[in-house]
Amino acid sequence: MTMHTDGFFRVVYTFELLTDDRRIACADLSLEDIGNHTTEGPCSGRFLSTVVEEVDGPAMARLLVEQGSDPEFFHLDENGRPLCLDCGSPLGDGPECGECGECGEAIDRPEEDA
């Protein structure tokens, strides 16, 4: 089984929407609505900024909960510790841990950068 290897990232986009329609300006728009209004509809739009922040497991678990998502979305427990992809049990903490303590499934850990 292959574990998550790229890290966790929080990305914040700032998007500017220009419109002459008060209903659109005051609406609670979804991302799909914003896309449709700017590509097919009566609005102009552009991305102003993108901020990328690498976060650790505990921070990602907190961010997921703040969004109303479950940390298991990224195979984390509520404290941000990785879960076995096969059985969902918490994985061992040490770098020597090569298998899940619950189901015994071998875990491919990412190699450390040299």
Does residue 96 contact residue 47 with C-beta atoms inside 8 Å? Answer: no
pLDDT digits (tens, 9 = 90+) for 95-107: 445 556 666 555 5
Q: pTM, whole model, 2 decimals? A: 0.70
The predicted pLDDT at position 2 comes to 46
Task: Report domain extents, the chain.
Answer: 9-54, 56-114
Q: DSSP code of 32?
A: H
Residue 6: which pLDDT band, with cuts at 50, 70 and 90? confident
Give me the phi and psi of 53, to 5 degrees please. -130, 125
Q: How many other β-carbons are positioned within 10 Å of the β-carbon of residue 85?
A: 15
Residue whose token pair is 């976060």: 55
**Cβ-Cβ contacts under 8 Å for 9 (sequence gap 6 or more):** 52, 53, 54, 55
